[in-house]
Amino acid sequence: MHAGQSEGTPQIEITLVHGTWGNVIPSRRVRWFEPQSEFRTQLEELLPREVTVVFREFLWSGANSIAARSDAAARLARELSEADAKRPMSKQVVIAHSHGGNLALDALRMAETSSRVPLITMGTPFIEIKPIEDRGSIVRPAHALIYSLVAAMVASLATLVLPAEFDILEIGNRILAINLAISVCMLIGLKFMVFSDRSFLKSEIKSEQKVFPVLVVRSMDDEAHLALMAGAVAGRLSIIFLSLCYAAFILSCLAKFGPIICAAILAIMMSSSWILAIVTGALFVFGEKFSIWRTLLFAVPMFLTGAVTLFALLSDARSETLLLVLNVASFAYALLIVVMFVLLLLISLARCINGRELIFGGALLEINVQSVPDIQSVQVITLPSETKASPRLQHSIYRNSGCPATISKWMAAEMHAPHARTIKMVPES
């Protein structure tokens, strides 16, 4: 509050919202939202002297969690609604940093206030979460991995329970046990990484959307925004490589299992049930919708590869080249299983930068990160970088000398604007 002013009802109540880990990371200096901080002191000095100003700190867990931000947004909405009901003549303003801007944006959408509450964000990476459009690019490789791992588990268990004289491959029990344990762990990982339900994390506002003034203060080369964008790029590249590896995995299956499946198809064809084999093979590989062209794409090359291999075997052409091809195919088959699992893990890790919940089920969601929210009544100001002897993070934009001046100037203009009622808009269907 400005010196020499009365203790009456304040005209402006400024709620300060910190970002991720904003109140957790140890700091030798006063945090930007705390009393006597450089940011608060400069902002109070720059605001009009005839205006009574009260600062309030909104503290939340600061966890890198979508659920934590959602809970904090609901609590902030209640506090703003209560403050507006108790002091209707006061002007409510929210200033938020980093992910605090996301929760403040959601809070103002939910708050029931008689007038529009201005929002000022500093270095906020605005996040939008929605289901991935091409689910097949993730689900098909995941299903192929599941079927392959289950087959490996069955083979390992069968070999373990058979007598030693039936171990024609001479694989030790220790290797079989390790293979079984790895297969189980990878199956559990796939269950949580890909097939966990995360639909509740979609950032879609179901209720009526409000229009309120927003000032976005950002800086050049903000480290937090760059990190989130790097995660988005890593996730996209992992999906591309996953599609390539899936195609290579299918080819390795053709070379590895071609002779066996071809012989099985020929046997079933002789019993007039060959259609069942083709349908089963298509479902085994693609795992989703049945389509004729995908079935032919799978069955024809498999049949031709197996026919060529059987012809070579039946003609007694047991060349080292054929054995080498089969060995290379077996090695590629095992390697691609590991590579596709790692790529799915990388996709989940890239997603969880935006929230720790996204490591489970985040592979089927896509994240849109922008420096400006996709709403109306937004003004954007980009502050130039300050070159000083001591380096500082661009994400700590509240330490920029131009930040308090920019905010105070915008607030002064907003205070002189008409005291408009809240405008509600019906969301598009």
Answer with the residue of higher pLDDT: 320 or 37: 37
Residues 245 and 307 in one domain: yes
Residues 290 and 406 in one domain: no
- Alpha-carbon span 249 to 245, nearest angstrom: 6
pLDDT at 15 > cutoff 90: yes
Q: Looking at residues 369-381, what average pLDDT do you find? A: 86
Lowest mean pLDDT among 57-61, 162-166, 350-354: 162-166
Answer with the residue of higher pLDDT: 160 or 361: 361
**Residue 60 φ/ψ region, left for φ over 0, alpha for ψ in the -120 to 50 degree band, beta for the rest:** beta
Residues 71 and 93 in one domain: yes
In a domain, 279, yes or no: yes
Residues 114 and 148 in one domain: no
In a domain, 345, yes or no: yes
Percent helix, strand, coil in the chain, to 5, is 55, 15, 30
Pairing of strands 119-122, 214-219: parallel
39-53 pLDDT tens trace? 999 998 898 777 788
215-234 pLDDT tens trace? 999 988 788 888 888 888 88
Q: At what angle do helices 320-351 and 136-161 cross, to 10 degrees?
A: 120
Residues 263 and 411 in one domain: no
pLDDT at 301: 52
Confidence band, pLDDT 50/70/90 cuts, at residue 72: very high
234-279 pLDDT tens trace? 888 888 888 888 888 887 777 766 665 665 555 555 544 445 555 5
- Alpha-carbon span 69 to 65, nearest angstrom: 6
pLDDT at 329: 73
Residues 340 and 407 in one domain: no
Tell me the two tokens of residue 68.
């934590």
- Alpha-carbon span 309 to 217, nearest angstrom: 66
In a domain, 220, yes or no: no
Confidence band, pLDDT 50/70/90 cuts, at residue 426: very low
Residues 174 and 262 in one domain: yes
**Which residue from 317, 191, 113, 53 is spatially nearest to 183, judged by alpha carbons?**
191
Residues 118 and 149 in one domain: no
Residues 118 and 151 in one domain: no
The answer to whether residues 416 and 110 touch, using CB atoms and an 8 Å cutoff, is: no
Domain tally, the chain: 2
Phi and psi torsions of 97, nearest 5°: -120, 140
Residue 60: which CATH number? 3.40.50.1820
pLDDT at 59: 94
The answer to whether residues 12 and 118 touch, using CB atoms and an 8 Å cutoff, is: no
The residue segments making up the domain with residue 314 are 136-199+235-366
pLDDT at 137: 81
Distances (CA, A) of 60 to 68, 74, 324: 8, 11, 61
pLDDT at 199 > cutoff 80: no
In a domain, 142, yes or no: yes
Alpha carbons within 13 angstroms on the beta-carbon side of residue 208 total 10
**pTM attached to this predicted model:** 0.74
pLDDT at 206 > cutoff 50: no
Residues 106 and 143 in one domain: no
In a domain, 304, yes or no: yes
Residues 194 and 301 in one domain: yes
**Which residue from 116, 93, 74, 203 is spatially nearest to 424, judged by alpha carbons?**
116
Residues 170 and 300 in one domain: yes
